[in-house]
Chain A
Amino acid sequence: MKALLLRDLRLAFRSGGGFGLGLAFFFLLSVLVPLGVGPEGGTLGRIAPGILWVGALLACLLSLDRIFALDHEDGSLDLLATAPIPLEAVVAVKAFAHWLVTGLPLTVIAPGLGVFLNLPPGGYQWLVLSLLLGTPALSVIGAFGAAVTVGLRRGGLLLSLLVLPLYVPTLIFGGEVVRRGAENMALATPLALLAAISLGAAALLPFAAASAIRVNLR
């Protein structure tokens, strides 16, 4: 499993692949929004939590189809399916690798982009914490979507259509945590629910994703 994790990370960094792409997208979005909305600080500050969360979500979405598609094309997914470790573990490891190369960097640069968007000072710690707790759910749910669409020729667009509705609860709770943090309100409930979604998704969805892969490899 460690070897698989390292392999996935190496592939993500080396093949000129999606690693930087999601970050660049996130950055561009955060620059474009003020250009579109106008530079007025109060407005930007109010929409900043939502924009940052939506941006992180879309950036995550960009690289989802890479989780399984490349392995499916060159046949290594079949080998992984017959490997001695269970397919559920393969899915979990690949989702974790995806989180390490997208969710974690997004979390790290998010405060910097918060400055662009004039996020109120109280919001930064909660922005980082909510992304840290929420992006694993995005990766796992995305891995499920990628598993369902892996056998399709033009799965990319369909993948977003399937995954976006599944992202709704994560987005709502994540945005809510940052918004309440920025306004200095109590935020324990949405934070706990956000963590619950991540944990629940990480515990259950690998099974659904693995069964979807088995169907696709049949």
Chain B
Amino acid sequence: MSIWEYANPKRFMQTSAWALPWAVGLTVALLVTGLVWGFFFTPDDYKQGSTVKIIYLHVPSAMMAINAWVMMLVTSLIWIIRRHHVSALAAKAAAPVGLTFTLIALVTGALWGQPMWGTWWAWDPRLTSFLILTLFYFGYMALWAAIEDPDTAADLTSILCLVGSVFALLSRYAVNFWNQGLHQGASLSLDKEENVSDVFWQPLVICIAGFILLFITMVLLRTRTEIRARRLKALLARERVA
């Protein structure tokens, strides 16, 4: 049993059909628990007041916005190297989800920044690199939409994803050239002594797990839709020939 078995669309459809209800259930449970806990049962921060609670949306979505691109990079590589169609379709399916996470992170950041920093937007390195990430998502999706032949589209978008990743990383460090900016450093990390206080930390981890599952659920769902659309197209084409 290897992971490459799921390169077979039929096998992928079977397994994902079994996994999807579990993923949906777990996503809902985790998100409801995490968000309700975070919004209603944590104390206000002594400096930021209740605005601190936006962390439960902002941090997980920002994490997933980047991870979604990494996942697209991996699936694009798999498509280029082994030419498994499910992989290319998963990359296609992940892009709009990643874009949505990016936009959520930007919007919640702006909502929080207005009362805290006194501004909706600042040309801070982190904010700017997220804006650039949005542009990359738009370009990637536009290229998918522009090409009719599915294999050509998968090839070209994969090449774009590889090149884009290098340049996205470059931009991330290029914007560091300006001053440090307004955005605070990471408040969660595995190798640091002092993290955010436990009262905030526990619901935050649940929310992060919920967002990861939300991403998996959405990608499974969208990949299934793509596969079905592909099958429908093949059926219609066969009917026209017959």
Contact partner, A164, options B135, B162, B168, B177, Cβ 8 Å: B135
Interface mask (B146-169 → A, CB under 8 Å = 1, otherwise 0)? 110000100110011011100110
Complex-state Cα separation, A155 to B146, whole angstroms:
8
* A218 CA / B153 CA spacing, docked (Å): 12
| Candidates B159, B174, B175; contact of A208 at CB < 8 Å | B159
Instruction: Assess whether B142 is interfacial by the CB under 8 Å rule.
Output: yes
Inter-chain contacts of A148 with B (CB < 8 A): 143, 156, 159-160
Asked if B152 and A165 sit within 8 Å, CB to CB, the answer is: no
Judge whether A186 is part of the interface by a CB distance below 8 angstroms: no
Query: Is A27 engaged at the interface, CB distance under 8 Å to the other chain?
Result: no
CB neighbors of A among B125-154 (8 A): 132, 135-136, 138-139, 142-143, 146-147, 152
B182 at interface (Cβ–Cβ under 8 A)?
no
B143 & A169 in contact (Cβ 8 Å cutoff)? no
Shortest CB distance B160–A (Å): 6
A173 and B176 alpha carbons, distance in the complex (Å): 11
* B160 and A172 form a contact (CB under 8 A): no
A29 to chain B, nearest CB (A): 21
What count of chain B residues pass the 8 Å CB interface test?
A: 24
Minimum C-beta distance from A172 to chain B (A): 4
From A152, A155, A173, A205, contact of B177 by CB (8 A): A173
Residues of A within 8 Å of B170, CB to CB, are 168-169, 197
Residues of A in contact, count (CB < 8 Å): 28
**Residue B51 at the A interface, CB < 8 A?**
no
- The answer on a CB contact under 8 Å between B171 and A218 is no
Nearest to A205 among chain B residues (CB) is B163
CA distance A154 to B143 in the complex (A): 11
Q: Chain A nearest CB: distance from B165 CB in Å?
A: 11
Partner of A165, one of B136, B155, B162, B177: B136
Within 8 A of B (CB), among A140-191: 144, 148-149, 151-152, 154-155, 158, 161-162, 164-166, 168-169, 172-173, 176, 190
Q: Is A108 in the interface zone, CB < 8 Å from B? A: no
A43 within 8 A of B: no
Please measure, in the bound complex, the distance between the C-alpha atom of A178 and the C-alpha atom of B171, giving whole angstroms: 18
Listed by A's residue number, 12 A-B pairs whose Cβ atoms lie within 8 Å are A149-B143, A152-B146, A154-B146, A155-B146, A165-B168, A168-B174, A172-B171, A172-B174, A172-B175, A197-B170, A215-B152, A215-B156
State the A residues within 8 Å of B (CB): 144, 148-149, 151-152, 154-155, 158, 161-162, 164-166, 168-169, 172-173, 176, 190, 193, 197, 205, 208, 211-212, 215-216, 218
